[in-house]
Amino acid sequence: MIDYMRFDVMLMDNVIASVNLKPDGSDCPYVVNYIKGFNKQFSPNPKGYITKDELERWLKWRVFPKTRVNMDELLTGLGLNSYNRWAIVRKTHGVMADDEIWLRFKGETLKHHDVTLRKSLYYPDIEQNDKNQSVEY
């Protein structure tokens, strides 16, 4: 079963942070950062509680903006009726076109090649195999 309250922040297939949105005994999310000096972390501290505002500020960089021209079309494609950052992240894993950071929720076994938008760049052999297998004779 997938636990959407706990996730790892991934850089390609490497865990760079772990997040628990509802740790025991606290209303604040708890984050453990495994790397230093990385500009896309929740906090400069190696581990500790963060505010919900800090989480929201970070989360907004993991979804398309509400002002995007084709927002309604994107929401429909995701099976969503309205703009909700968390619902979008649950569907997209926070994958963006301009970096290789994504979220893997506890209980998932996904790898970078399963979620990346640039499969042909990073995994040309997998992309070619997928095309070969989908050809009907």
pLDDT of residue 131 exceeding 70, the answer is: no
What is the b/e burial string over 94-117, where b = at least 16 CB atoms within 10 angstroms of the residue's CB? bbeeeebbbbbbeebeeebeebbe
pLDDT in tens, 61-118: 899 999 999 999 999 999 999 999 999 999 999 998 878 899 999 999 999 999 998 8
pLDDT of residue 127: 54
Confidence of residue 136 (pLDDT cuts 50, 70, 90): very low
pLDDT in tens, 21-70: 999 989 999 999 888 766 666 676 788 898 888 888 888 889 999 999 99
Give the chain's radius of gyration (CA, Å).
17
CA distance 13 to 15: 7
pLDDT of residue 69: 94
Contact residues for 122 (Cβ-Cβ < 8 A; gap 6+): 12, 100, 112, 113, 116
